[in-house]
Structure 1
Amino acid sequence: MRTVTLIIIHCSATPEGKFLSAEACRQDHIQHRGFRDIGYHFYIPRDGEICQGRPLEKVGAHCRDHNTHSIGICYEGGLDIAGRPQDTRTLAQRGSLLALLRELRKRFPKALIVGHHDLNPMKECPCFNCIKEYGEL
C-alpha cells in the first residue's frame, strides 16, 4: 500500500437542482479530462451513498502535486442554484462523509484531513472549512 499523508475533500461544482452521478463524473473524467478512471477514490452523491472510485492503492487524479500521497473524496454539489460556491451538502452526505472519514482515519491515523482549497487557494472547493470541521477526528 502506498503512503497516505492527506485525505483531500472536494466538491463536484454541481449547482443545486442539477445532478451528477458517480458514473457521470467517471465518464466526464475519462472523456473530457483524459483520465483512465474517475480521479477520486470516493464519490458521495446527494443521497449519501458512498461510491467507490479508484482503488485506494491506486494514485488518484484530484489535486495537482498531492495525488501520490493522498486519498480524494468528492461530494456532489458545492454550488448554489446561481452557480456560486456554497456548502450544499445534504444531511445524508454529511453523515456519510463523517463515517467514511472515521474509517479512513482508522486505516491512516496520521493523514491530515484537508479541503482542496487548503492546498490550492485559487480553488473554492469544497466550499466549507474541512480543517475546522474535521480537525478533531
Structure 2
Amino acid sequence: MSRPISLIVIHCSASANGRQQGSRIQSAAAVIDGWHVQRGFQRQSAARAAFNPDLAAIGYHFVLDTDGSKHTGRAIAEVGAHVQGFNSQSIGICLVGTSRFTRAQWDALHSLVKALKAQYPAARVVGHRDLSPDKNGDGTVEPAEWLKTCPGFNVADWLQAGMKPLPANLQA
C-alpha cells in the first residue's frame, strides 16, 4: 500500500530541550506514543498489526531523540496524525525538544530529510507552523497566524542554510 506524499512536516515534541526521551527500556517513539494515547489518538488495528504493533497511537512517522537516534512510529504508507488537514499526503518527523536541538539531532534530520526527498522529490519540506491558515490572505503565514510554534525554528531558513544546524537553535 502506498499513498501520494506531497509534504514532509517537521515537528518538535514540546519537551525540555536537550533532555533525551528514550532509554534502554523505552524508545522516544514509545514515550510519545504514551502521550498520544492520553490525547485520544488511535492507530487502525490493521496498520498497527503490520508495523510497530506496540505503538497504539503515535501520530508521527519518525522521532529523532537528542542522541540522534531515529525511531519509527507509523509506517510511511500509514496516514499520520500530526497535522490536521494534511495527514493524508504527508510524512511527520518529530524532533525531541522544543527549540534547541543537539548536533546529533540536526545531523539525523539532515540525513532523514535527504533520504525522504530522494524517495519523494516533489514533496515540500515544511514546519508544522507553516501549515497554519493564512488568516489575512496575503499569501504568507506570519507568526501572528501560527496555530502552533512547532518546530521552534524556521524550516525555510534551515533548508536555505543547506540543512546545517541553525546556530540559534543548537543545543550546547
The TM-score with structure 1 as length reference comes to 0.87
Report the equivalent of 2:61: 41
What letter matches 1:118 in structure 2? D
Count matched residues: 129
Structure-2 residue corresponding to 1:102: 114
Q: Deviations 1:100-129 (Å, cap 9, x if unpaired)?
A: 000000000000000001012121000101
11-20 or 110-119, which moves further after superposition? 11-20
Alignment check: 8 A CA contact 2:18 2:101 kept = no
2:39 is aligned with 1:32: yes
**More off after superposition, 20-29 vs 36-45:** 20-29
Please identify, of 23-32 and 92-101, the stretch whose mean Cα deviation from structure 2 is larger: 23-32
Larger radius of gyration: 2
1:28 aligned partner, one-letter code: W
Deviation at 1:132, TM superposition (A): 2.1
Higher mean displacement: 23-32 or 41-50: 23-32
Contact 2:67 2:104 in 1 (8 A): yes
- 1:132 alignment partner AA: D
Provide the C-alpha distance between the structure 2 equivalents of 1:104 and 1:18, rounded to a whole number of angstroms: 26
Task: After superposing the two structures, state which structure 1 stretch, 116-125 or 16-25, moved more.
Answer: 16-25
Q: 2:77 aligned with 1:57, yes or no?
A: yes
> Contact 2:41/2:58 (CA < 8 Å) preserved in 1?
no
Q: How do residues 1-137 of structure 1 correspond to structure 2 at under 5 angstroms?
A: 1-16=2-17, 18-20=19-21, 21-36=28-43, 37-78=57-98, 87-120=99-132, 121-135=146-160
> CA RMSD for the aligned pairs?
1.6
Taking the aligned partners of 1:112 and 1:3, their CA distance within structure 2 comes to 12
Q: Which residue number corresponds to residue 81 of structure 1?
A: none
Greater share of residues in strand: 1
TM-score for the superposition, normalised by structure 2: 0.70
Q: Percent of aligned pairs with the same residue?
A: 40
Residues 16-63 of structure 1: CA deviation (Å, up to 9, x unaligned): 365432211012112332322210000001011010110000000000
Q: Which amino acid aligns with 1:134?
A: L
SS in 2 for 1:15: coil
Q: Secondary structure at the match of 2:125?
A: strand
- Consecutive unaligned residues in structure 1, runs of 5 or more: 79-86
